[in-house]
């Protein structure tokens, strides 16, 4: 025990350093960005690499099933409430830290090439480092409050990065939208914290979990808390109905989309629920909500994704859809499956985005897949890695997506048949639109301008190396979580087991599906994916179909292409009324009613003054008369008294 | 004696400044405000935080009517003093590269204002407190009126009469208390130890409340404020919004709650409801504001609405949070108005529409502006968050649904601030012939100081909370 | 002599006189007549004082009467002077004309 | 006190000033020496000494102003000065009287001299009108005063204040209705003199029409004298019959406050504005009369002093401004801040002082009055007085706004040492007494 303790204390410094490196990087670049110029890219990458190395060190040295929970300083303290600033390093956070720093490093590296010609080069890297810092805070914090710091901090970084090209107002709008929608979720998170602070007396996970265990399963309190937390997760992880910011967020540079809007930040919601697994386990109703929201989002986004023509938009909707899948997993109580999909998704989606970035790089900024085609000839590495990513996300054996998705589907089959059907459809749609994207981009003939064609080139090594590395992981990551039929040892689930042990106990988890069923399920999934691919092939290679131009889209597909007009709906439902209300309050209530009341009282006084002044006619006779009247009245008053 | 020193420095400076001219007056003002800051910091270092007031100065002023002077400082006063005396040098510095008529009078008035504000925060006798309270009104009126923008005569007069009307109500309340107290003492301790008969507390509460509500301002007593903020010269607006409205919130804690506890307990719900309505109402109005300073004015109403809501919850979170937030809001709003001033001064354009691209030519300014905005929208690790977190929590403790409603501020705040930032600073639509030099040295000092403090306070808010904790704990009792 | 009649008679008489004076001041518009009415008021007071003095048996009241007479004379002198001045400027003694100063 | 027989015109004023200074000193010498003279017609006590001192001081300042005011009219300066001195004499009698005879004489000496001074611009029809109106109404009121005195005499058999008081003590249960009627008539006459509503009608017109210097004198010395006399009457003679008259006084105070402040709002003429402001201040001072039973002479004195200082300061700025602009409208002050910032600042201070805002003595005076009024349970009256002072701020600030907010007019204001001297003295004292009120507040 003592040994264990000593060993743990030794880890405090490296653990503290993990988020500190990116922060230092951010400060250095922010202050000396001009002088550092292109060095800043390397500096930033080095900082993340350092964090990554330290994280690996922690990963290796964290003894057994123990966790490292330490306090840095007291942040706020009043009355009997103490809110400290502290970190918790356990298996769950380590997984996230590895993903963040690992993929983060690769994306930093990639960005050096991608952003090379941008005038805001060092600014970009300072923001990226800032993002990593906050993201690490989010996952490393030992309380909801620290998580909330990271939570809002990544929102800020996301805002800054989406609006990175601030000259474009549409990008700025997208950035603003992302920030505000996130804030809506944050309010839920904040209120959840108030509930916890009030009823549990603290915000750190230990206190909360301990206090929560004193309540019964399914009490209103826990349900409220978890629902509010889930509202926060909906905002951050782009679930229905707060998802609309994520597709717009593609306005940011592509590495940003890869890092923030695919691999890490958007999965914060899943991390949060996984982190609160005990609370959620105690709130079965919330879990149902989470599951159904996830399923709905998954299908909805997949449908929209089928009709998108912007390479990044397709990926964005696929991200939303995949996130929905993860939430569905969480909602079923399969926390480790959800987390597993987070990890695999991080790899292949980052890969896809980076690939898309490489494509856009090659195409000199073109993003519309209708104007691409035949790129496999020009950018071989990108093509190959992109294919791997596409196969992975479509759930083809033995790529990583297959395993993680299969795990979720198996969980769904085991108890929620309807969910299983819906998620399978969603997977099919995913496979379809991903291959639609792939075929339209890389196969057939080039459809862009001649000028674009002449510029087609493979990206520099800083960009291709991350692609290759990620594609390797996109392939092998699945083997960390082999299904029970293939291996007795589900490495990933075992690693996270201590985290979810209590909640599993509360939920009394379902027995595993038997092997034959599992085989069957895997077969169905693969078959479905292959059918989808076949359809896509038939449409876009065989029949040489092209998505029609925007103007020609009609009927249902027009609805789909326009994302079911959800943005317009929100605009009409919330934004416009808010603006009208604002004007109304200002002009009508503030100026007309409230101020008028004030001014009217002043005016009445003034008017009285002007009126009674007329008594003073200047006529002495009247004055004398009034004086005598006054005396008589006074005398009368006196008599009455 | 330290209390008197803190009062005399700005007063002497104000008089001295009248005999200086031009740049000399600026430098003198800066020196004096810095000296004052040093003394304030000294007071902080020697202050022993035991929940009671220190540095007492007691004197009899007049036998009939009984007038006493009682200056002292407790944790709450110290926080406010630090805020005041920290902001003043910044405000003085902010005017360094601005042309203005008769700067010596301007700065003299400003230091006179500092004198009055210091007085308000260290007065422990109702009468002397009232005098300083009124005294603070005169210099700011003249600053706003003489150096103000369009329509200043009407607007400032409205401001003056409106706030004075409130003060007179408070005067009446004090007069009544004076009469009711056997020794005719308005001393803070005697007022708090022998509260008025609860039969009278209702209307006493309203008299005090309206006086403070006008100053703060709480909806619906706010209509003087946007006009005045928009019209006053920016340094005046900084004084008004940064410090002067804190007089109102501070007084809620110092006078209203301990002096008429029964009245407060009875009408608490009205006060909170008004405050919370004010938060949302002002935020919503701010969304579509066309004028930059007016937008900031409404945002300020929203923020102080939260402060007063927190105070009226009567729990420790609310009290502590309000103190933290007063300090934070003071810093942030001064920063915001300074940024507004920088824009107005260079572009002569006070509307939010029709500007843009400032970031292209003045990136440093854009960055610091952003930082101040972040503080103002209460991003965690900035000072705004600590206060808002505690305040919202206190409102939550009072009523969950009110907290949800008040919590809208974190959404709406982001909406109007980011909208404004985007329209004015981002984009490419540069106004024709716009000359926008990046920050000058004095602007840099001011904004960087504020920016750094925003984070320092956001990460280490403990000193303020420790300073006020004993006092506020006593208040709860 | 004076005591021959009940005191109230004097009181009533001087009150009536005083009232006549007041009514005169209120109803007439000619400044001179108003002046005379005021004199009437003062003289009614004189009568009252003298009667009171006689009944009370001390002479203070009578002394006071002399003061009143002196003051009244002074007052009339000043009043007439002002009236002359006004007459020179306006050629009228109607007090209704004197209404330049109003509101 | 008879100082009018001088030939060397230039010396008149300095000599008078010197004389006044002398009397001022002599007067102070009488502090704490309670004596009575002339068969108890005149009584000197601290009350009278203090107010005499104040009156002499005000007159002193007025005379200093007069040197420059009458530069264009040197021929009559001796007459003017003499008459002004008579006003002082009347005022002093009103402070020292111990007998209704002396009160009457004092009032008449003061009034008759004032009638003359009000009409002293012979060729100005406004001045004529003011003088004559004042005369008519004043003598009309004197009639009532006399009738009242006569009735009191009839009831109590004496003019002596203490004897009348004795009468009320001895006949507490059966005070003659004659006495009450007389008391009311006297009170009405005094209300007229202090220009309390509804007997205030003369004040605006007379202030408006009179020469500015006379207006200044009227609004300070005369008002103070009237109030002091009124106060003395109420606090001593009518002490035991006070309850009878209190409601009337309270109503009068309320109407006065309302009328004075409301009617001032729309004024454009500065003197007329100050007249209404004077009426409103009469309203505040009425609160002291209301509380006279509680011996509130200190409040009366302090408030009078504060009011006099501020008003004189205002006139010390206004008179040269009027001369330069050839107008007495508030617009004459337009842009004064640009031309004469110090004068503008001083006038602002005077206005703020009149409005009763700290740190000027005016505030403390009001505070004192309000505490006393509340102590005597005039709750609503005090509340109305507070509301009235809110309104008051508006019209005082109209002047300030004209000075600072309006573009400057052409007229150049001549600088004069004497005006500046008075101005300086008034402002300094007004701040000084505002900050260190102790000695004055607790004078009695």
> What one-character-per-residue DSSP string does B186-233 give?
-BHHHHHHSPPPHHHHHHHHHHHHHHHHHHTTPTTS-THHHHHHHHS-
Q: What b/e sequence results for B56-78 when a residue is b if at least 16 CB atoms lie within 10 Å of its CB, and e otherwise?
A: ebeeebbebbbbbbbbbbbbbbb
pLDDT value of position D6 = 42
Based on C-alpha coordinates, what's the Rg of chain A? Answer: 30
A581 in contact with D, Cβ within 8 Å: no
A512 confidence band (pLDDT: 50, 70, 90): low
> For the residues C57-74, what does the mean pLDDT come to?
88
Give the start-to-end residue ranges of the domains of chain C: 2-93
Taking CB atoms and an 8 Å cutoff, what residues of chain D touch C79? 115, 132, 135-136, 139
The CATH classification number of C2-93 equals 1.10.287.3510
pLDDT value of position B327 = 92
Are A612 and D262 an interchain contact pair (Cβ–Cβ within 8 Å)?
A: yes
Backbone phi, psi, residue C94, to 5°:
-80, 125
CA neighbor of D385 nearest in space, from D248, D303, D287: D287
Say what the ipTM of the complex is.
0.88
Contact A98, A151 (CB under 8 A): no
Average pLDDT, rounded, for chain A: 84
Question: Quick check: A9 pLDDT over 70?
Answer: yes
pLDDT value of position D23 = 78
Determine the residue of chain B that is closest to D390 in CA distance. B165
Q: With pLDDT > 90 as the criterion, what percentage of chain A qualifies?
A: 3
> For the residues B264-269, what does the mean pLDDT come to?
90
Domain holding B131, by residue range, is 2-476
Question: Quick check: B433 pLDDT over 70?
Answer: no
A618 → closest Cβ in C22, C26, C102: C102
Establish, for the pair of chains A and B, how many residue pairs have beta carbons separated by less than 8 Å.
Answer: 127
**Which of B155, B280, B288, B421 to probe the A interface (max A CBs under 10 A)?**
B288
Determine the residue of chain A that is closest to C28 in CA distance. A621
Contact B356, A163 (CB under 8 A): no
Angle formed by the axes of helices A380-394 and A461-476, nearest 10°: 30
A453 in contact with D, Cβ within 8 Å: no
Question: Quick check: A433 pLDDT over 90?
Answer: no
pLDDT value of position A2 = 56
C26 in contact with A, Cβ within 8 Å: yes
Render pLDDT for D125-184 as a digit per residue (tens, 0 to 9).
888 888 989 999 999 999 999 999 999 998 888 888 888 888 888 887 788 888 888 999
D153 in contact with B, Cβ within 8 Å: no
Q: What is the DSSP letter of B427?
A: S
Q: Cβ contacts of residue A199 below 8 Å, gap of 6+?
A: A211, A221
Question: Quick check: C46 pLDDT over 50?
Answer: yes
The more confidently predicted of residues A113 and B166 is: B166
> For the residues A561-575, what does the mean pLDDT come to?
78
pLDDT value of position B88 = 92
Number of domains in chain B: 1
Determine the residue of chain C that is closest to A609 in CA distance. C103
Q: Are strands B54-62 and B67-73 parallel, antiparallel or unpaired?
A: antiparallel
D7 confidence band (pLDDT: 50, 70, 90): very low
Q: With pLDDT > 70 as the criterion, what percentage of chain B qualifies?
A: 99
Q: How far apart are the C-alpha atoms of B92 and B88, rounded to whole Å? A: 6
> Ranked by mean pLDDT, which of A428-442, A448-462, A504-518 comes out on top?
A428-442
A455 confidence band (pLDDT: 50, 70, 90): confident
> For the residues C37-49, what does the mean pLDDT come to?
90
Contact B380, A149 (CB under 8 A): yes
Chain D residues 406-425 within an 8 A CB cutoff of chain B: none
Average pLDDT, rounded, for chain C: 86
Are A179 and B418 an interchain contact pair (Cβ–Cβ within 8 Å)?
A: yes
pLDDT value of position D11 = 63
Question: Quick check: D283 pLDDT over 90?
Answer: yes
A81 in contact with B, Cβ within 8 Å: yes
Render pLDDT for A86-145 as a digit per residue (tens, 0 to 9).
888 888 888 888 888 988 898 888 888 888 888 888 888 889 899 999 999 999 888 899
> Ranked by mean pLDDT, which of A490-494, A541-545, B202-206 comes out on top?
B202-206
pLDDT value of position D5 = 44
The more confidently predicted of residues B48 and B387 is: B387
> For the residues C27-52, what does the mean pLDDT come to?
89
Render pLDDT for A311-344 as a digit per residue (tens, 0 to 9).
888 888 888 888 888 888 888 888 888 888 888 8
CA neighbor of B218 nearest in space, from B231, B208, B203: B208
- Which range among B332-336, D348-352, D355-359 shows the weakest confidence by mean pLDDT? D355-359
> For the residues A485-504, what does the mean pLDDT come to?
76
Residues of D with CB under 8 A from a CB of C: 101, 104-105, 108, 112, 115-116, 119, 122-123, 125-126, 128-133, 135-136, 139-140, 142-143, 146-147, 149-151, 153-154, 157-159, 178, 204-206, 208-209, 266
Are B142 and D404 an interchain contact pair (Cβ–Cβ within 8 Å)?
A: yes
CA neighbor of A620 nearest in space, from D398, C83, B112, B444: C83
CA neighbor of B187 nearest in space, from B196, B177, B197: B177
A620 in contact with C, Cβ within 8 Å: yes
Chain D residues 236-265 within an 8 A CB cutoff of chain B: none
Question: Quick check: A529 pLDDT over 50?
Answer: yes
Q: How many helical (H) and strand (E) elements, i.e. helices and strands, does chain A have?
A: 28, 2
pLDDT value of position D4 = 43
Average pLDDT, rounded, for chain D: 86
Question: Quick check: D57 pLDDT over 70?
Answer: yes
Q: With pLDDT > 70 as the criterion, what percentage of chain D qualifies?
A: 97
**DSSP 3-state of D165:** helix
A487 confidence band (pLDDT: 50, 70, 90): low
Question: Quick check: A229 pLDDT over 70?
Answer: yes
CA neighbor of A585 nearest in space, from B280, B294, B159: B280
pLDDT value of position D70 = 78
pLDDT value of position B33 = 92
C20 in contact with A, Cβ within 8 Å: no
pLDDT value of position D3 = 44
pLDDT value of position A593 = 83
Q: How far B202 CA sits from the closest chain D CA (Å)?
A: 16
Which subunits have 3 or more CB–CB pairs within 8 Å of chain B?
A, D
B429 confidence band (pLDDT: 50, 70, 90): low
Q: CA separation (Å) from A496 to A64, A213, A334, A459, D154?
A: 12, 20, 12, 38, 112
Neighbours of D398 (CB within 10 A): 23
Render pLDDT for B32-44 as a digit per residue (tens, 0 to 9).
999 999 999 998 8
Taking CB atoms and an 8 Å cutoff, what residues of chain A touch B419? 176
pLDDT value of position A421 = 86
Chain A residues 142-181 within an 8 A CB cutoff of chain B: 148-149, 151-153, 156, 159, 163, 166-169, 172-173, 176, 179-180
Q: With pLDDT > 90 as the criterion, what percentage of chain B qualifies?
A: 29
Backbone phi, psi, residue B474, to 5°:
-60, -35
B80 confidence band (pLDDT: 50, 70, 90): very high
Are A81 and B317 an interchain contact pair (Cβ–Cβ within 8 Å)?
A: yes
- Which range among A98-102, A593-597, D36-40, D306-310 shows the weakest confidence by mean pLDDT? D36-40
pLDDT value of position A209 = 85
What are the contacts of B24-31 at 24+ separation with CB within 8 A? B24/B104, B25/B103, B25/B104, B25/B106, B25/B107, B25/B108, B26/B92, B26/B95, B26/B96, B26/B103, B26/B107, B28/B107, B29/B92, B29/B107, B29/B110, B29/B111, B30/B89, B30/B92, B30/B93
Q: What is the pTM of this model?
A: 0.90
Average pLDDT, rounded, for chain B: 88
Question: Quick check: D211 pLDDT over 70?
Answer: yes
A513 confidence band (pLDDT: 50, 70, 90): low
> For the residues D284-311, what does the mean pLDDT come to?
90
B279 in contact with A, Cβ within 8 Å: no
């Amino acid at each position: 025990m003592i040994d264990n303790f000593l060993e743990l204390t030794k880890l405090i410094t490296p653990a503290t350093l993990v988020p500190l490196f990116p922060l230092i990087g951010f400060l250095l670049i922010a202050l000396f960005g001009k002088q550092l110029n292109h060095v800043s890219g390397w500096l930033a990458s080095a900082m993340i690499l350092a964090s990554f190395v330290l994280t690996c060190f922690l990963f290796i040295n964290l003894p057994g099933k123990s966790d490292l929970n330490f306090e840095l300083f007291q942040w706020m303290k009043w009355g009997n409430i103490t809110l400290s600033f502290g970190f918790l390093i356990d298996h769950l956070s380590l997984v996230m830290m590895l993903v963040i720093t690992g993929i983060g490093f690769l994306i930093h590296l990639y960005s050096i090439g991608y952003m090379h010609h941008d005038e805001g080069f060092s600014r970009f890297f300072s923001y990226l480092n800032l993002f990593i810092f906050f993201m690490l805070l989010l996952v490393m914090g030992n309380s909801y409050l620290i998580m909330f710091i990271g939570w809002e901090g990544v929102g800020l970084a996301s805002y800054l990065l989406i609006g990175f090209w601030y000259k474009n107002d549409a990008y700025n709008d997208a950035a603003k939208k992302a920030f505000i929608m996130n804030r809506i979720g944050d309010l839920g998170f904040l209120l959840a914290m108030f509930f916890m602070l009030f009823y549990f007396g603290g915000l750190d996970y230990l206190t909360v979990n301990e206090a929560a265990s004193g309540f019964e399963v399914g009490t209103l309190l826990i349900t409220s808390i978890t629902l509010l937390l889930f509202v926060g997760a909906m905002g951050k992880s782009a679930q229905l109905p707060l998802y609309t910011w994520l597709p717009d967020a593609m306005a940011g540079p592509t590495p940003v989309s890869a890092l923030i809007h695919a691999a890490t930040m958007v999965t914060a919601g899943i991390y949060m629920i996984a982190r609160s697994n005990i609370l959620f386990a105690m709130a079965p109703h919330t879990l149902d909500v989470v599951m159904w929201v996830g399923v709905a989002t998954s299908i909805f986004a997949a449908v929209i994704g089928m009709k998108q023509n912007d390479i990044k938009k397709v990926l964005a909707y696929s991200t939303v859809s995949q996130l929905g899948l993860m939430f569905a997993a969480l909602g079923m109580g399969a926390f480790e499956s959800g987390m597993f999909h987070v990890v695999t998704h991080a790899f292949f989606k980052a890969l896809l985005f980076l690939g898309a970035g490489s494509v856009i790089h090659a195409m000199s900024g073109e993003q519309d897949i209708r104007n691409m085609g035949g790129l496999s000839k020009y950018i071989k590495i990108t093509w190959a890695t992109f294919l791997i990513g596409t196969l992975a996300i479509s759930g083809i054996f033995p790529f990583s997506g297959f395993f993680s998705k299969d795990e979720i589907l198996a969980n769904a089959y085991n108890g929620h048949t309807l969910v299983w059907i819906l998620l399978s459809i969603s997977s099919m749609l995913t496979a379809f639109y991903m291959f639609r994207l792939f075929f339209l981009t890389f196969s057939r003939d080039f459809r862009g301008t001649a000028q674009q064609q002449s510029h087609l080139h493979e990206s520099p090594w800083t960009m291709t190396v991350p692609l290759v590395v990620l594609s390797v992981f996109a392939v092998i990551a699945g083997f960390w979580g082999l299904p029970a039929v293939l291996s007795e040892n589900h490495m990933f689930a075992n690693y996270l087991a201590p985290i979810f042990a209590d909640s599993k106990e509360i939920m009394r988890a379902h027995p595993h599906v038997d092997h034959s069923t599992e085989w069957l399920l895997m077969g169905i999934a693969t078959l479905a994916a292959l059918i989808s691919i076949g359809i896509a092939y038939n449409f876009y290679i065989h029949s040489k179909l092209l998505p029609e131009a925007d103007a020609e889209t009609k009927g249902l597909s027009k609805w789909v292409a326009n994302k079911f007009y959800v943005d317009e709906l929100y605009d009409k439902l919330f934004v416009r009324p808010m603006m009208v209300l604002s004007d109304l309050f200002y002009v009508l209530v503030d100026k007309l009613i409230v101020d008028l009341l004030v001014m009217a009282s002043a005016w009445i006084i003034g008017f009285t003054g002007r009126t009674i002044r007329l008594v003073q006619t200047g006529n002495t006779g009247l004055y004398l008369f009034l004086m005598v009247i006054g005396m008589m009245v006074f005398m009368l008053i006196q008599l009455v008294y | 004696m330290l209390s008197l020193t803190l009062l005399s420095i700005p007063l002497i400076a104000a008089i001295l400044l009248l005999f200086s001219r031009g740049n000399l007056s600026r430098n003198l003002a800066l020196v004096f405000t810095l000296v004052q800051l040093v003394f304030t910091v000294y007071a902080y270092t020697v202050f022993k935080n035991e929940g009671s007031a220190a540095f007492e100065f007691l004197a009899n002023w007049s036998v009939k009517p009984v007038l006493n002077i009682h200056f002292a400082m407790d944790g709450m006063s110290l926080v406010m003093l630090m805020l005041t005396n920290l902001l003043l040098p910044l405000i003085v510095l902010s005017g360094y590269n601005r042309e203005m008529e008769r700067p010596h009078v301007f700065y003299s008035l400003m230091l006179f204002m500092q004198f009055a504000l210091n007085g308000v925060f260290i007065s422990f006798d109702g009468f002397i407190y009232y005098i300083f309270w009124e005294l603070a009104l005169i210099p700011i009126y003249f600053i706003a009126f003489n150096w103000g923008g369009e329509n200043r005569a009407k607007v400032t007069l409205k401001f003056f009469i409106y706030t004075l009307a409130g003060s007179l109500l408070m005067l009446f309340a004090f007069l009544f208390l004076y009469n009711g107290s056997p020794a005719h003492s308005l001393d803070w301790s005697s007022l708090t130890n022998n509260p008025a008969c609860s039969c009278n507390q209702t209307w006493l509460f309203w008299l005090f409340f309206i006086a403070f509500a006008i100053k703060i301002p709480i909806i619906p007593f706010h209509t003087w404020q946007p006009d005045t903020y928009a019209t006053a010269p920016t340094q005046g607006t900084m004084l008004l919004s940064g410090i002067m409205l804190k007089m109102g919130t501070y007084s809620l804690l110092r006078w209203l709650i301990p002096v008429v506890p029964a009245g407060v307990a009875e009408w608490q719900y009205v006060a909170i409801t008004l405050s919370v309505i004010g938060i949302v109402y002002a935020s919503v109005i701010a969304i579509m504001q066309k004028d930059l300073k007016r937008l900031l004015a409404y945002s300020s109403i929203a923020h102080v609405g939260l402060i007063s809501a927190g105070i009226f919850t009567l729990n420790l979170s609310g009290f502590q949070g309000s103190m933290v937030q007063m300090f934070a809001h003071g810093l942030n709003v001064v920063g915001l108005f300074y940024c507004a001033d920088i824009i107005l001064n260079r572009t002569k354009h006070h509307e939010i529409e029709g500007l843009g691209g400032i970031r292209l030519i003045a990136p440093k300014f854009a960055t610091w502006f952003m930082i101040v905005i972040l503080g103002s929208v209460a991003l965690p690790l900035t000072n705004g968050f600590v206060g808002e977190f505690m305040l919202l929590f206190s409102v939550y403790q009072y009523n969950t649904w009110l907290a949800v409603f008040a919590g809208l501020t974190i959404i709406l705040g982001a909406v109007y601030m980011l909208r404004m930032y985007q329209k004015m600073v981002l984009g490419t639509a540069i106004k024709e012939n716009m000359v926008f030099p990046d920050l000058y040295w004095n602007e840099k000092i001011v904004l960087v100081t504020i920016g750094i403090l925003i984070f320092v306070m956001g990460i280490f808010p403990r000193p303020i909370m420790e300073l006020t904790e004993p006092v506020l704990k006593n208040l709860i009792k | 002599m004076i005591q021959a009649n009940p005191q109230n008679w004097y009181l009533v008489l001087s009150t009536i006189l005083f009232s006549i004076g007041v009514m005169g001041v209120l109803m007439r518009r000619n400044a001179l007549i108003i002046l005379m009415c005021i004199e009437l008021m003062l003289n009614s007071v004189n009568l009252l004082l003298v009667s009171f003095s006689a009944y009370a048996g001390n002479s203070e009241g009578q002394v006071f009467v002399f003061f009143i007479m002196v003051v009244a004379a002074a007052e009339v002198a000043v009043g007439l002077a002002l009236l002359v001045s006004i007459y020179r400027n306006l050629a009228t003694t109607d007090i209704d004309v004197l209404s330049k100063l109003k509101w | 006190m008879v100082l009018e027989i001088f030939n060397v015109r230039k010396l008149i004023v300095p000599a008078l000033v010197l004389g006044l200074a002398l009397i001022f000193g002599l007067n102070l010498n009488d502090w704490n020496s309670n004596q009575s003279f002339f068969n108890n017609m005149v009584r000197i006590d601290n009350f009278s000494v203090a107010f005499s001192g104040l009156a002499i001081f005000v007159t002193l300042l007025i005379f200093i102003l007069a040197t420059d005011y009458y530069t264009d009219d040197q021929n009559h300066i001796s007459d003017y000065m003499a008459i002004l001195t008579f006003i002082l004499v009347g005022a002093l009698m009103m402070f020292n009287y111990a007998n209704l005879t002396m009160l009457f004489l004092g009032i008449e000496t003061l009034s008759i001299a004032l009638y003359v001074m009000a009409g002293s611009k012979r060729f100005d029809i406004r001045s004529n009108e003011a003088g004559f109106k004042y005369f008519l109404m004043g003598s009309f009121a004197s009639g009532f005063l006399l009738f009242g005195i006569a009735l009191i005499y009839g009831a109590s058999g004496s003019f002596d204040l203490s004897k009348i008081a004795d009468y009320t003590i001895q006949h507490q249960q059966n005070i003659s209705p004659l006495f009450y009627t007389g008391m009311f008539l006297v009170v009405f006459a005094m209300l007229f003199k202090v220009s309390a509503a509804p007997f205030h009608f003369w004040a605006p017109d007379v202030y408006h029409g009179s020469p500015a210097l006379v207006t200044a004198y009227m609004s300070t010395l005369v008002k103070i004298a009237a109030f002091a006399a009124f106060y003395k009457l109420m606090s001593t003679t009518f002490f035991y019959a006070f309850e009878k008259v209190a409601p009337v006084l309270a109503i009068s105070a309320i109407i006065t406050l309302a009328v004075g402040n409301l009617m001032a709002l729309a004024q454009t003429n500065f003197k007329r504005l100050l007249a209404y402001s004077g009426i409103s201040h009469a309203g505040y001072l009425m609160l002291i009369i209301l509380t006279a039973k509680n011996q509130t002479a200190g409040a009366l004195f302090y408030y009078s002093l504060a009011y006099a200082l501020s008003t004189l300061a205002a006139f010390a700025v206004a008179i040269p401004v009027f001369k330069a602009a050839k107008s007495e409208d508030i617009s004459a002050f337009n842009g004064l801040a640009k031309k004469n910032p110090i004068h503008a600042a001083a006038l602002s201070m005077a206005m703020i002082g009149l409005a009763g805002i700290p740190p000027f003595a005016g505030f403390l005076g009001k505070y004192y009055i309000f505490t006393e009024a509340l102590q005597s349970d005039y709750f609503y009256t005090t509340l109305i007085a507070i509301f009235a002072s809110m309104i008051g701020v508006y019209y005082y600030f109209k002047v300030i706004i004209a000075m600072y907010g309006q573009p400057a007019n052409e007229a150049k204001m001549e600088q004069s040492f004497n005006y500046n001297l008075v101005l300086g003295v008034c402002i300094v004292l007004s701040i000084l007494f505002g900050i260190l009120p102790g000695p004055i507040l607790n004078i009695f």
